[in-house]
Structure 1
Amino acid sequence: METMSKVAITIVVAVVLSWGWNLLKWIWLKPKKLEKWLRDEGYKGNPYKVLMGDMIEFASVVKEGKSKPSPLTHDITSYALPFDHHIISKYGEKSFIWLGPTPRMYIRDPELIKEILLRSVEFRKPHPEPFRDSIIQGLLVTEGDKWIKHRKIINPAFNLQNLKIMFSAISSSCSDMVQKWELLTVGSGPTEVDVWPYIDNLAGDVISRTAFGSSYEEGQKIFRIQKEQIDLIFQMLIILQIPGRRFIPTQANKKFNQNVKELRSVLMAIINKRKKAIEMGEGKQDDLLGMLLESNTKEIEEHGVGMSMEDVIEECKLFYVAGSETTSNLIVWTMVCLSMHQDWQIRAREEIVNVFGDKEIYFEGLKDLKILTMILNEVLRLYTPVIMMTRATHKETKLGNMTIPSGVQLALAMMHIHHDPEIWGDDVNEFKPERFVEGIVNATKGKGSSPFFPFSNGPRVCIGQNLAMTEAKIAMVMILQRFSFELSPSYKHSPFPVFTLPPQFGAHLILRNMS
């Protein structure tokens, strides 16, 4: 018995020592080793602080940045990325920050970014990434063979033919929004309207219709829960990097966990109802969920393995965050830019009249909107919805003249590149859609198309970019046909990032009904 006790004690001591050693490596030894490598490579940043890194200062700077508007300018990098701007201003372009015990180095060379995005097997999404993982999973974060299979299953839902099918649902949602504005403005002359809540709801409305069709009301409920989850995450910024964060009994954490369960329950009910309808041969499956389930069934029949119920749930959640946020941002910043630059508003409206005349908008006409396409590209450049992408090394990896060790995050500074005068010229912070008159390739100063990547690039380019551009064009055509608009005196410029780049203080414009 005494021998067994000694063995048990020895095992316990060995486990505790092993756990302690691994903890020491995680919170101190590995970060210090990576810090030495970064400094040897000429990168500069704050000294590593145990466990928290730069997170306390980061949360403080973000909170302060959110509290006030920006000057009325398209030079928004310092406002939208206050902590990153602070670090880069302090340490130079070759700089890094600490996300807990993980260093994140800034990559601002477009050719290196292009290489990183093309080498998606070597440079993967960071895992785990608490901010992102708390809200979305699905195709956005899946890797390897699972990503290849999921992309194959989801791809058919976003082809040109299905975009045409979704055209009617998108048009109905846009028409509903425009009618609400007409009721606000008819017979009342110039009217101040905060257009942002309407545009935000429009994007959720479109995703609810195009993703869930007949389950539209439940779709709206998902949209509301997802918006609340993003707000709650911002309340928990400081504790996000702490292991076991979801068990910390704060009010925000409790509500977040309740929402996770409710969201899963709502989506399970929608998916099971749709699967049953497909099995019974009821109705056409012409929305994203129906197409996804049909494609998944085909994959299982042909290869034996497809997406699980959990996988389908995560893809549905991704429809909302990626689909609605990106498009609503593009539409609202287009309206703001056209309010600031009336000459381009007039040119866009004249083109719409030339293409559609007094007819209703039709799908094939969208491709003839050259001026509107130039405008949208310039808005995507200045107010890119996703302001920064991150990748990570999971083994020692060669990039340019560096060999990056495992465990380093790379921040692909999209917004900085879209605002770089060496790429776009000294007028980089001016709204000049004409820079795209000969296409994206010729818009940069001989740098090709790689510095312009609002929907990412390489194998993992955004699967929904054509849907987003189609929705933005339909919305802007309907708005420009019926209204002229300008900034209200109460407008506060506030492009501050959440997952994307919404106007945190709204978008107060003066609408004039043209009917």
Structure 2
Amino acid sequence: MVASTEMMSILVSLICVVIVTGFIRVVDWIWLRPKKLQKMLNQQGIYGNSYRFLFGDLKDFSLLRNQALKTPMTHFSDDYFRRVEPLRHQILSKYGKDYIVWLGPIPMIHISKPELIREAFIKTNEFTKPKVNPVFDKLFPGVVSYEGEKWAKHRKIINPAFHMEKLKLMLPAFYESCAEIINKWEIEVAEMGSGELNVWPDLMKLSADVISRAAFGSNYEEGRQIFELLKEQTNLALAIVQSVYIPGYRFLPTARNRRFKEVENQIHNLLHKIIKKRKKDIDVGESPKADLLGLLMDSNAKEIQQGVGSKANGNFGMSLDEVIDECKLFYLAGQETTSTLLVWTLLMLSKHRDWQVRAREEVIQTFGSSVPDFEGLSHLKTVTMILYEVLRLYPPVMQLSRRVKQDTNLGALSLPSGALFSFSVISIHRDMEIWGNDAHEFKPERFAEGISKATKGNNSFFPFGWGPRICLGEKFALAEAKMAISMILQRFSFELSPSYVHAPMTVMFLQPQHGAQLILQKL
């Protein structure tokens, strides 16, 4: 009886120790550590709103964003930061270019100095991709979320698919997808010779079709289910990340969590079916196809063979699930990046019709009425200047983030392990100290002598990231955009419709909230 009582006493003591230890850790996470970090950053001259228990700035973020989305801009201005990032605009206006935003109990340090951004991009071992919420790893899987040896292995395997000579093989897919949309527009304006169209849905369909053909050899109709599911998953992810991240919460069977998991499984199964069929074709002797999936599978097979042949230790190549993750990344990033670049380019050329005329003259001089070829596309100087300027003013991704792996310095800043910092792409792309007093104006001529000259040698233009982790799909996106813009300019002139409402918004990527209504005139 005495022994039993002693055992019960020990058990109760252990439970109390666990509870007290857990309580101390929770208090440290939601109050002591944030207050300590706030003091540390303030001492280095970086300020923001004072930390508020548990939620930080998240409530203000949601409130201000929802208010902004209710009201479009009164006129077509390229200075839209206040609308798409109202909280950050508010904090920046009060505390300067370098400031803190509280993501719950986690401070996000916003850095504006190009030399610090360059250093952070280069030091990939010290500054890694952030793990703010595991939902992002599900939404953006694959090489974009990996670190260290795994990232290096995947990058090595994927690289061959994006070489310039491989892109040439994908040009017919670009052309077929563009031709379908342009023929559709011609039919819609045929009767009157001109007409108003909301081009945004068609441009999303165009880029979806391109990535389906170029990545998987299929067309948009076959890939549409995956795109619809990705769109739903993106909206679910946004709703999840706008609340405080609580470790383990994603495993609770809430309606949102259950649906996110269901969508994830459906996407996985659809991609698995595509890849399994392709592997079966290769196994019976068919040559790998010259699309992204075919090139990826071929490169992966060679990597596996080299690994086995060398008898090296470790895993060889990618697993089936890892190939599926890379394909999902192809789908989401490939479609969103190019569709947003295209829509803002058409809107800017509608607003600045002198540049539309100049671009058309260059396209006609280069191709006449013939199908654009790779060599000609690579020499379109005016079109390239326009695309760069659109990417400067309307970058697809508004900010890039990094995580401090261990206590270290970034320039003169002392950063603790686990700290997060980000670079506001839109703010740096418009910094008057770098770009001049006309930083908010559409002036493609600033890129006439290339990016380095335009940025005065600063690391201040990075719509696709920079350094070792620069986006692999940059050349793919620009080649697709040049093909689409060239073919549109060959067939149409266009201007803004009176019904167009300028309302940029972010849903992961920068989009026109109410569409892009243009008046197209058949040439």
TM over 0.5: yes
Contact 2:288 2:298 in 1 (8 A): no
Report the residue type matching 1:281 in the other structure: G
Q: Is 1:260 aligned with 2:261? A: no
Structure 1 match to 2:503: 494
Change (3 A) 1:191 1:368: same
- Correspondence for 2:231: 227
The question of whether the paired residues in 2 share the 8 Å contact of 1:442 and 1:449 is answered with: no
Q: Is the 8 A contact 1:191 1:511 kept in 2?
A: yes
* CA pair 131-274 structure 1, distance change in 2 beyond 3 A: same
Deviations 1:33-80 (A, max 9, x none): 111111111111122222221111111111122222223111122222
Which range moved further: 409-418 or 289-298? Answer: 289-298
Q: CA deviation at 1:139?
A: 1.1
Question: Residue in 1 aligned with 2:406?
Answer: 395
Q: Distance in 1 between matches of 2:218 and 2:346?
A: 31
User: Which residues in structure 2 correspond to 1:113-128 (within 5 Å)?
Assistant: 113-128=117-132
The equivalent position to 2:206 in structure 1, one of 202, 205, 216, is 202
- Per-residue deviation, 1:309: 2.1
Unmatched 5+ stretches in structure 2: 309-315
**1:453 paired residue number:** 462
Shift of 1:187: 2.5
Is residue 359 of structure 1 aligned with residue 370 of structure 2? yes
1:469 equivalent in structure 2:
478
Aligned positions of 1:125-136 closer than 5 A: 125-130=129-134, 132-136=136-140
Find the aligned partners of 1:226 and 1:389 in 2 and give their Cα distance: 21
Contact 1:349–1:481 under 8 Å retained in 2: yes
Residue matched to 2:489: 480
Cα distance in 2 for residues equivalent to 1:18 and 1:274: 53
Q: Is the 8 A contact 2:58 2:244 kept in 1?
A: no
* Matches of 1:245 and 1:68, distance apart in 2: 34
The 1:128/1:96 distance shift into structure 2, 3 A limit, reads: closer
2:155 matches 1:151 = yes
**Which of these residues, 246, 249, 271, is aligned with residue 245 of structure 1?**
249
Scaled by the length of structure 1, the TM-score of the pair is 0.96
Asked if structure 2 preserves the Cα contact closer than 8 Å seen for 1:495 and 1:502, the reply is yes
Q: Structure 1, residues 240-267: CA drift from partner, whole Å, max 9, x if none?
A: 5233333455544433222112111111
Maintained 8 Å contact 1:215/1:270: no
User: Quick one: distance in 2 between partners of 1:8 and 1:265?
Assistant: 47
Distance 2:7 2:293 in 1: 58
**In percent, how many aligned pairs have the same letter?**
48
Shift of 1:195: 0.2
Counterpart Cα distance in 2 of 1:42 and 1:30: 19
RMSD: 1.7
Structure 1 pair 215–493 and aligned structure 2 pair: CA distance change class (3 A): closer
Query: For the residues of structure 2 that align with 1:11 and 1:295, how far apart are their CA atoms?
Result: 54
Letter in 1 for 2:290: D
Runs of 5+ unmatched residues, structure 1: none
- Cα deviation digits, residues 112-131 of structure 1 (max 9, x gap): 11111011111111114356
Instruction: Indicate how the Cα distance of structure 1 residues 431 and 216 shifts in structure 2: closer, same or farther if over 3 A, else same.
Output: closer
What letter is aligned with 1:94? D
Find the aligned partners of 2:148 and 2:388 in 1 and give their Cα distance. 31
Contact between 1:331 and 1:472, CA under 8 Å: does it hold in 2?
Answer: yes
- Equivalent residue number for residue 301 of structure 1: 305
CA distance in 2 between partners of 1:341 and 1:477 (Å): 17
Match of 2:338 in 1: 327
Specify the alignment match of 1:21 in structure 2: 24
2-side partners of 1:306 and 1:27: how far apart?
Answer: 41
1:336 to 335, 347, 350: 347
Instruction: Give, as a single letter, the amino acid of the residue that structure 2 aligns with 1:507.
Output: A
CA contact (8 A) 1:131 1:240 kept: no
1:358 and 1:236 mapped to 2: Cα distance?
49
* SS of structure 1 residue aligned to 2:452: coil
Cα deviation for residue 109 of structure 1 reads 0.7
Q: TM-score, normalised by structure 2?
A: 0.94
CA contact (8 A) 2:34 2:106 kept: yes
* 1:370 match: 381
- 1:167 and 1:322 map into 2 onto residues whose CA distance is 19
- Quick check: 301-310 or 188-197, which moved more? 301-310
Contact 2:174–2:480 (Cα < 8 Å) also in 1 = yes
CA distance in structure 2 between the aligned counterparts of 1:116 and 1:299, rounded to whole angstroms:
30
Aligned residue among 391, 398, 417 for 1:406: 417
CA distance in 2, matches of 1:37, 1:194: 50
* 3-state SS of 2:376 partner: helix
CA distance in 1, matches of 2:10, 2:277: 56
Give yes or no for contact 1:130–1:240 (8 Å, CA) kept in 2. no
Mapped partners of 1:494, 1:245: distance in 2: 34
Q: Partner amino acid for 2:203?
A: I
Name the aligned partner's letter for residue 169 of structure 2.
I
Q: CA deviation at 1:194?
A: 0.4
Q: What is the match of residue 312 of structure 2?
A: none
Q: 1:103 to 1:243 in 2, by over 3 A?
A: same
Match of 1:61 in 2: 64
CA contact (8 A) 1:75 1:419 kept: no
Per-residue deviation, residues 262-297 of structure 1 (Å, max 9, x unmatched):
111111222222222222222432111121122112
Distance verdict in 2 for CA 1:309–1:88, change over 3 Å: same
Q: Secondary structure at 2:48's aligned position in 1?
A: coil
Could you tell me how far apart the structure 1 residues matched to 2:196 and 2:230 are? 29
* Counterpart residue type for residue 360 of structure 1: V
Question: Could you say if the C-alpha distance between residues 214 and 431 of structure 1 is closer, same or farther in structure 2, counting changes exceeding 3 Å?
Answer: closer
Aligned AA for 2:207?
A: A
Q: Confirm whether residue 50 of structure 1 aligns to residue 53 of structure 2.
A: yes
User: What SS does structure 1 have at the residue aligned with 2:521?
Assistant: strand
- Seen in structure 2, the aligned counterparts of structure 1 residues 77 and 438 have a Cα distance that, compared at 3 Å, is same
**Cα distance in 2 for residues equivalent to 1:58 and 1:286:** 45
2:282 corresponding residue in structure 1:
278
Q: Report the CA distance between 1:359 and its aligned residue.
A: 2.0
- Give the 3 Å change call, closer, same or farther, for CA 479–344 of structure 1 in structure 2: same
Letter of the structure 1 residue corresponding to residue 96 of structure 2: G
Please state how far the C-alpha of 1:220 moved relative to its aligned partner: 2.3
Kindly state the Cα deviation for residue 428 of structure 1 after the two structures are TM-superposed: 1.0
* Residues 1:169 and 2:178 are matched in the alignment: no
Question: Within 1, Cα distance between the matches of 2:326 and 2:395?
Answer: 23
Structure 1: how far apart are the matches of 2:478 and 2:84?
23
User: What one-letter code is carried by the residue in structure 1 that aligns with 2:206?
Assistant: L
> Is the Cα contact below 8 Å between 1:440 and 1:449 reproduced in 2?
no
- The C-alpha deviation readout for 1:68-117, integer Å capped at 9, x for no partner, is 22231111222222111111112222310110111001101111111110
Q: Give 1:13's aligned amino acid.
A: C
